[in-house]
């Protein structure tokens, strides 16, 4: 979890998203349904993508979907499309640098980011 304590966010996560989860796989399924039921696509974003040699590059993309394989409890993956392309790449929510979206979408993604101890995303 993120070092900055956020009681309201923790309450929402514990009692709405991962309630009754007994292991990490069940928690991932809880996160999947939270995203699937609440995120509104497309979402304009800037994401960090890996380059050769371990460097990262920021690119403007549209988040267009939630990877349905995320439902298996392995990992949450979001489908993104770079401008001028139709090819979908999948990223972790932790790869998001900035969002241009509704306050609701921002809160949903930041809930996951907070729980997984990444830096919160701003708009």
pLDDT class of 119 with cuts at 50, 70, 90:
confident
Q: Which string of DSSP letters, residue by residue, matches 104-120?
A: HHHHHHHHHHHHTTPPP
Q: Extract the runs of DSSP E, i.e. beta strands, from 10-113.
A: 43-50, 56-66, 78-82, 88-91, 96-100
DSSP, collapsed to helix, strand or coil, labels residue 10 as helix
pLDDT class of 54 with cuts at 50, 70, 90:
confident
> Is the separation of the CB atoms in 77 and 69 below 8 Å?
yes
Domain ranges in the chain are: 7-115
Q: Could you give the CA distance from residue 38 to residue 82 in angstroms, rounded to a whole number?
A: 23
Q: What is the pLDDT of residue 68?
A: 87
- Section 60-77 average pLDDT: 88
CATH superfamily entry for domain 7-115: Calcium binding protein CcbP, beta-barrel domain (2.30.30.530)
Q: Report whether pLDDT(105) > 90.
A: yes
């Amino acid at each position: 979890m993120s070092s900055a304590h956020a009681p309201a966010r923790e309450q929402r996560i514990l009692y709405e998203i991962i309630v009754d989860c007994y292991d990490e796989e069940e928690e991932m399924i809880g996160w999947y349904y939270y995203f699937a039921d609440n995120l509104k696509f497309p979402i304009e974003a800037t994401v960090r993508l890996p380059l050769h040699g371990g460097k990262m590059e920021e690119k403007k993309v549209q988040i267009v979907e939630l990877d349905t394989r995320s439902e298996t409890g392995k990992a949450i993956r979001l489908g993104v499309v770079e401008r001028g392309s139709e090819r979908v790449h999948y990223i972790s929510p932790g790869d998001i640098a900035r969002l241009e979206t509704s306050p609701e979408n921002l809160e949903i993604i930041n809930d996951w980011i907070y729980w997984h101890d990444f830096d919160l995303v701003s708009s």
